Amino acid sequence: MNQEVITHIVNEFNTPIYIYDGEKIEHQYKLLKSCLPKHFEVFYSVKANPLLGVCQLFKKLGSQIEVASLAELQTAFQAGFTPDQIIFTSPGKTIEELETSIDRQIYSINVESLEEAILINHIGQKKGRQVPISVRINPDFNLSGAGLRMTGVPTQFGIDQSQLEEALGTIQSLPYLKLIGLHIYTGSQMLAASLIIKNMEEIIKLAITVSETYAFPLQFLDLGGGFGIPYFTGEQYLDMDELGKGLQTVWETYAHKLEGTRIGVESGRFLMAESGLFVTKVLYVKESKGTKYVVCDGGSNHHASSAFLGRHIRNNFPMHVHSQEEQDELTEVTVVGSLCTPTDVIGQKVKLGKVDSGDYIVVEKSGAYGLTHSPVLFLSHQLPAEVLYKQGQVHVLRERGSVEDFFKGQKLLSTHEELLQRT
């Protein structure tokens, strides 16, 4: 996606805006598939970017899908996924979400607690239907080296390995549950192939041990994911050749134990992050006590990940001034949005070329956990448009929001006279 394309899109749809490169999405999906053993399936993690058009593209590419809410479940169906291609993972599923998943007969509900399993059994009993589930385990090990660890520590995700005997004993006694598999997700944003390989080997070994110990056929094994992409200075791309060779060796070692088992990996960030650009227009350039500020029309309310909201340590996404040739002279600036809070910083002390009002700042690697991860209601700015560029065509995935959107569902207080009339 070249500079001219970006200029055309910005001129037509204004800013702030998310632009996704459909060719890059396809490339990342095929790259990941190419390094996995042939038997493995990819489940797109909708939470990374839940746009209907994005999910539709992954369906066309041959992906399965992993959802974590009722809206994501409905998105999966609208995008064309069939029940056998859908798994539901979340530590806090509501009764409505569970009932809909059961009614639509999705492939697996990944259970995160014994209490959830008991609730699913109760719903299954009411509906007269046995429900396929996979148990998510929080193992004692964590070899991931992940930026965000999700196992081996206290967590809301899954059932602790030390509690498996009691939990599986109860689950296997519940007549309306069909235990078909196990799910282990150890961490996110892993960049070392050797650690991913070792981690997945340990997951496979644990899954085989659990299925043999508790005497149930392992129909499904969700290995999680965590495939990372480099955002920051000093980070290296994941070595896909090493990953592919290592995973194939692991698979050849344990394939005889997993004959007939459906193997899945989840991915969102790896598939989507590098496809996306967040483009925001410079409104003002000012100085304050020695710091140069670039004030833009889009900020942390639209791109919380770039602002590192909620993080104790921040870094900067790669960014540049649009349509600007590479310059020798760079100036240190802080890029901010238009919110009335000092946390609205999407680039702190970044080095940019000459920047003026009317220029555009492009935040790279913004395809995953962008708008979907952001506090869009803060200050009630309109939602940015989201578009996808593929094979020379621009597809609008989400129209730009309007001021009227923020009044949908709201009600004025009733006056005293109106309350009297109702009585």
| CATH number of residue 348's parent domain | 2.40.37.10
Q: Are residues 231 and 123 in the same domain?
A: yes
Q: Are residues 149 and 84 in the same domain?
A: yes
Choose one of 214, 239, 267: the last residue of a domain.
267
**For the segment 262-296, what is each residue's pLDDT rounded down to a tens digit?**
999 999 999 999 999 999 999 999 999 999 999 99
Total domains in the chain come to 2
211 CB neighbour count, 10 Å cutoff:
20
Q: Is residue 327 very low, low, confident or very high in pLDDT (cuts 50, 70, 90)?
A: low
| Segment 46-73 mean pLDDT | 98
Q: Would you say residue 415 lies in a domain?
A: no
Q: Would you say residue 303 lies in a domain?
A: yes
**For the segment 86-122, what is each residue's pLDDT rounded down to a tens digit?**
999 999 999 999 999 999 999 999 999 999 999 999 9
Catalytic, out of 35, 55, 296, 340: 340
Q: Is residue 44 very low, low, confident or very high in pLDDT (cuts 50, 70, 90)?
A: very high
Q: Are residues 231 and 318 in the same domain?
A: no
Out of 17-21, 42-46, 242-246, 414-418, pick the least confident: 414-418
Q: Are residues 261 and 281 in the same domain?
A: no
pLDDT at 144 over 60: no
Q: Would you say residue 17 lies in a domain?
A: no
% the chain with pLDDT above 70 = 95
pLDDT at 324 over 80: no
- The boundaries of the domain holding residue 152 are 50-267
Q: Would you say residue 23 lies in a domain?
A: no
421 CB neighbour count, 10 Å cutoff:
9
Q: Would you say residue 30 lies in a domain?
A: no
Residue 69's alpha-carbon distances to 61, 72, 120, 292, in angstroms, are: 23, 5, 16, 42
**For the segment 146-172, what is each residue's pLDDT rounded down to a tens digit?**
444 445 566 788 898 889 999 999 999
DSSP alpha helix (H) spans, 47-192: 52-61, 70-78, 95-103, 114-127, 164-173
% the chain with pLDDT above 90 = 87
pLDDT of residue 295: 98
Asked if residue 293 lies in contact with residue 334, where contact means CB atoms within 8 angstroms, the answer is yes
- If one compares 212 and 187, the residue with the highest pLDDT of the two is 212
Q: How far apart are the first and last CA of the chain?
A: 63
Q: Are residues 263 and 300 in the same domain?
A: no
pLDDT at 331 over 90: yes
Q: Is residue 77 very low, low, confident or very high in pLDDT (cuts 50, 70, 90)?
A: very high
Q: Is residue 188 very low, low, confident or very high in pLDDT (cuts 50, 70, 90)?
A: confident
Q: Are residues 59 and 204 in the same domain?
A: yes
CATH for 197: 3.20.20.10
| Segment 305-334 mean pLDDT | 86
Q: Is residue 420 very low, low, confident or very high in pLDDT (cuts 50, 70, 90)?
A: confident
Please name which of 377, 380, 301, 401 lies closest in space to residue 346, comparing C-alpha atoms: 301
298 CB neighbour count, 10 Å cutoff:
25
pLDDT of residue 233: 87
Asked if residue 178 lies in contact with residue 221, where contact means CB atoms within 8 angstroms, the answer is no
pLDDT of residue 145: 54
Active site residue 296: no
Report the chain's mean pLDDT, rounded to a whole number. 93
Q: Are residues 153 and 238 in the same domain?
A: yes
Q: Are residues 245 and 392 in the same domain?
A: no
Q: Would you say residue 91 lies in a domain?
A: yes
- If one compares 128 and 323, the residue with the highest pLDDT of the two is 128
Choose one of 250, 267, 284: the last residue of a domain.
267
- Rounded-to-integer distance, Cα 43 and Cα 225, Å: 9
What pairs with residue 221 in β-bridges?
A: 182, 263
